[in-house]
Structure 1
Amino acid sequence: METYLIPALILGGCGILAGVLLTIASKVFYVKVDERIEKISEALPQANCGACGFAGCADYADAIITKGAPTNLCRPGGADAAGKIADILGTTAAEVVPMTAVVHCSGDCEATKPQFDFDGVQSCKAVKRFYGGNGSCKFGCIGLGDCAAVCEHDAIRIVNGVAKVDPALCGACGQCAAVCPNLLISIKPKTKHIDVLCSSGDNGKATKLACKNGCIGCKMCEKKCPTGAIKVENFHASIDYDKCENCGECMAACPVKVIHTCKV
């Protein structure tokens, strides 16, 4: 009997001692967590997209309390989330600039043609690895919808071979931009309506051979812009949205009509 009883008592005593020590340790090393962190995390949309610059919603909530991070960084949550955070902190809601994604390509099925039929995994990433893509323009939208697949707001559709964003639905989380293998998608303020819908890095002649709608780098837009918001570098026009005033001068000057306006 003693053969079983003594080991059992020893084991039980060790268990009790371990429990006591763990209880004491939990009291000694207890770190009080500000209850506002959990409340702020609950006020966020839980997209965990990283658009705020932090690892996720919980990390952002912690940064607001412990590091004084701005309260208006959540793009998917927008003004609603910023208002809830302000209520929790007892402060005035910070201004939130509504943002949206934009796809810088207009090479639809009429403007450009595929170079070959790809029968592998039907994703833009997979096609990009195969000779740089299957389209005549290696810079353009591949059109197999990797961006649409990751969009939680159902804001992206493939229309005539090109991804299109609905700004009214877009939460500007940036997930689509992250998965696009040709880096065609950027995030811009919804108040800025003028976009260059081409990302070609080829010269004008090569671009026109690959796509009828491509930017030829003629710099007419750059010359007409009164604020210096549009520049042509490496045969490609791009807009500095901080300088753009939506005047439309660049759009009117573009001979290939690759600059478009899109209002929400």
Structure 2
Amino acid sequence: MSIVLITILTLAGLGALAAVILYLASQKFKVFEDPRIDQVEEVLPAANCGGCGFPGCRAFAEALVKADDISDLNCPVGGAEVMGKVAQILGKEVAKSEPKIAVVRCNGTCEHRPRLNQYEGAPSCAAASALYGGETGCSFGCYGLGDCVDACNFDAMYMDEKTGLPVVIEDNCVACGACVDACPKNIIELRKKGPKNRRIFVSCVNEEKGAVARKACSVACIGCGKCAKVCPFDAITIKNNLAYIDDEKCRLCRKCVAECPTNAIHELNFPVRKNKTAVKETATEEK
């Protein structure tokens, strides 16, 4: 028998032996994966946005399959329709959740919040916030450098050149929360879309006392409490000189909007109504 043939047979034998060893090792250390994970991942939107609290749709699918109760888990992109399909696959109940949307809680435009200096550093809100309080007298407001826009994977935000503030494109927003995490000033919040996309919220996060806040921004909340007094649903609280409207309690009656002396409370997507003076008079008559 030639040396070449012996070599070939030896290598073939070693290869076969290695294959057997690898097969036995793979069977011994094989990790079972629930086939439902693939089924759940298939119905998820594959956005991998992290809005569910997990690094991607695959990780979210694994969490859904492993969880005994999925009522606290939600895919903001897919919404109720997708979560319904997931519940059907897993044979579990899923809580009905109202769709949410990002809102910008700052109305400090160039008109309302005069600039006192000019920032010439890196074009990043995160970088600017690490250096100073901003170009205006309000250290709580938007820097206007667009970190939130850059973080959005759904083209749901843009910077308004006229106001210097981010604008949410309602039809594109999936409430993934990326813009919320990107904002170093915490001025972006996820709130319920509301019936007919109608929402009411305080568009200010300034916690300074009234006179100081008003000096820095003409439309700042001054914590006067008038809105809380007229709210019939106890949806408004005043904390740290700042009013906040709980979207779980708010019934969109708009009485607070008429009472706010600085126009810090915003109402979105409501029918056009009488001017504010007339509304105040109507509210007074109702009392």
TM over 0.5: yes
1:166 is aligned to: 169
Please give the secondary structure, in 2, of the residue aligned with 1:187. strand
**Is residue 2:114 matched to residue 1:113?**
yes
> Residues of 2 paired with 1:204 and 1:34: CA distance?
58
**Is residue 2:197 matched to residue 1:194?**
no
2:18 is aligned to: 18
Matching residue's letter, 1:40: V
Q: Does the Cα contact within 8 Å between 2:36 and 2:89 map onto a contact in 1?
A: yes
Q: Does the Cα contact within 8 Å between 2:49 and 2:153 map onto a contact in 1?
A: no
> Residues of 1 paired with 2:127 and 2:8: CA distance?
61
Please give the secondary structure, in 2, of the residue aligned with 1:232. strand
> Residues of 2 paired with 1:212 and 1:12: CA distance?
84
1:181 is aligned to: 184
**Is residue 2:251 matched to residue 1:248?**
no
Q: Return the offset for 1:225.
A: 1.0
2:139 is aligned to: 138
Match of 1:221 among 217, 227, 233: 227
Q: Which moved more, 1:72-81 or 1:176-185?
A: 72-81
Q: Does the Cα contact within 8 Å between 2:70 and 2:94 map onto a contact in 1?
A: no
Q: Return the offset for 1:69.
A: 4.6
TM-score (norm 2): 0.82
> Residues of 1 paired with 2:212 and 2:106: CA distance?
16
Please give the secondary structure, in 2, of the residue aligned with 1:143. coil
Q: Does the Cα contact within 8 Å between 1:251 and 1:260 map onto a contact in 2?
A: yes
Q: Return the offset for 1:90.
A: 5.8
Q: Return the offset for 1:15.
A: 4.9
Matching residue's letter, 2:231: C
The root-mean-square deviation of aligned C-alpha atoms, in Å, is 2.6
After superposition, the Cα gap between the structure-2 partners of 1:220 and 1:27, relative to the gap in structure 1 and judged at 3 Å, is same
In the TM superposition, 1:1-264 aligns within 5 A as 15-70=15-70, 73-89=74-90, 95-159=96-160, 160-191=163-194, 193-263=199-269
Q: Does the Cα contact within 8 Å between 1:167 and 1:190 map onto a contact in 2?
A: no
Matching residue's letter, 1:24: L
Q: Return the offset for 1:11.
A: 7.3
> Residues of 2 paired with 1:14 and 1:36: CA distance?
39
Stretches of structure 1 lacking an aligned partner (at least 5 in a row): none
Stretches of structure 2 lacking an aligned partner (at least 5 in a row): 271-287
Q: Return the offset for 1:113.
A: 2.0
Q: Return the offset for 1:48.
A: 2.4
TM-score (norm 1): 0.89
Q: Return the offset for 1:21.
A: 1.5
> Residues of 2 paired with 1:84 and 1:148: CA distance?
31
Please give the secondary structure, in 2, of the residue aligned with 1:168. coil
Q: Deviations over 1:223-245 (max 9, x none)?
A: 11111111111111111222111
Aligned residues: 263
> Residues of 2 paired with 1:7 and 1:134: CA distance?
78
Q: Return the offset for 1:135.
A: 2.5
Please give the secondary structure, in 2, of the residue aligned with 1:237. strand
Q: Return the offset for 1:163.
A: 1.4
Q: Return the offset for 1:100.
A: 0.4
After superposition, the Cα gap between the structure-2 partners of 1:28 and 1:204, relative to the gap in structure 1 and judged at 3 Å, is same
> Residues of 2 paired with 1:91 and 1:236: CA distance?
41
Q: Deviations over 1:115-157 (max 9, x none)?
A: 2222221111122122222232110011111101111221112
Please give the secondary structure, in 1, of the residue aligned with 2:131. coil
Q: Return the offset for 1:76.
A: 1.1
Q: Return the offset for 1:87.
A: 4.5
Q: Return the offset for 1:55.
A: 3.1
After superposition, the Cα gap between the structure-2 partners of 1:250 and 1:193, relative to the gap in structure 1 and judged at 3 Å, is same
